[in-house]
Amino acid sequence: MGDWVIGALINLLGSIFINFGTNLLKLGHDESKKLFVLSNFGTRMKPIIYFQAWRVGILFFAIGNCLNFISFGYAAQSLLAALGSIQFISNIGFAYFILNKIVTIKLLLATAFVVVGNIFLVAFGNHQSPVYTAEQLAENYANVVFLLYCLGLVFVVALHHSIYNIGEGKMLVPFSYAVVSGAIGSCSVLFAKSLSNMLRLSMSSSGGGYSTLHTGFTYSMLLMFLSTGGFWMARLNEGLSRFDAILIVPMFQIAWTFFSICTGFVYFEEYKVFDALRTVMFVLGMVSVFVGIYLLAPDDDKPSKGGEVLKDGPLVLPKTSIFSDDVESLFMSSDQNSQIKDMEIIWTSYADENC
């Protein structure tokens, strides 16, 4: 069994853990909002850390990222980033069973396009995983091509951040939010790959032992990893509180996967193993992924499992809902959609002022 296979298996398990934790984080936010409604806006909302679903989600999210960190030492960055497509499969199941979301045919079709595209990326990607010395890694960071790529990344982040601030477009706003998050957060993959490479080098017979870890380069990579990883987690947590998980989670993963692959291609020069066939298949895989993104656009008035929205009537809540009859009556009006939007505005304003 090759090293890249070991890395792939560890990464797959880590990806499932991350997605499970992500959905639990969203469940914690949903429970927080429901409790806020039940309080009739009269009391200060409890911090999100007090909700068990959110705490368990953080634990699974952290364990999954640790597994992914280990896997980076055994396989190419572009390969492992593409394997994140397993999260799209698990996301449907977790969103259905944990968040009570309805899984439509359109969503299944969109997920199929994304998964098929990522399978192409894996099948025709780079299966090599050389071990670099600290000097080689430092030289790659100072490479002119990589520096130009970083400059382009800054431009992409600035552009999509401005689009998000404008706040127009049902799909464009969450997509821009995910792009900014993925462009910066995916840099943590590069730093994690460098750290994992150094750890693997220190354990090898010719690597010089653990003394190779006590260098300025290693500590700088650790600092950058914690910074970009912390940014990614903070944006993920905020995004889950602002957008529907069944929409924003795939967008997060697509942006993270895309920028992780591009960064690995440029920094580690993984594109050098590509011939004409591999290049064409890789492009087809990316096209399939983008088609899946387009199909992930949510339809208006899509209900969750256990309840339904009537265009000209009240919001019908499930009998097992935690909402009381008094709270349910808040939604009984002829202009239901406007009232729901007003409550969302109140919630957002309250959160911005008090969080």
Question: Domain limits of the chain?
Answer: 1-75
Higher pLDDT, 114 or 259: 259
pLDDT of residue 347: 41
pLDDT of residue 45: 65
pLDDT digits (tens, 9 = 90+) for 215-237: 888 899 999 999 998 999 899 88
Taking Cα atoms as reference points, which of 13, 14, 26, 15 lies closest to residue 246?
26
Question: Is the pTM higher than 0.75?
Answer: no
Higher pLDDT, 226 or 117: 226
Q: Please check whether residue 192 is in contact with residue 68, taking contact to mean a CB–CB distance below 8 angstroms.
A: yes
Q: Please check whether residue 80 is in contact with residue 8, taking contact to mean a CB–CB distance below 8 angstroms.
A: yes
**CB-CB neighbours of 220 under 10 Å:** 14
Asked if the model's pLDDT at residue 313 lies above 60, the reply is no
Query: How many residues in the chain?
Result: 355
Q: Write out the E strands in the chain.
A: 308-309, 315-316
Taking Cα atoms as reference points, which of 120, 119, 128 lies closest to residue 12?
119
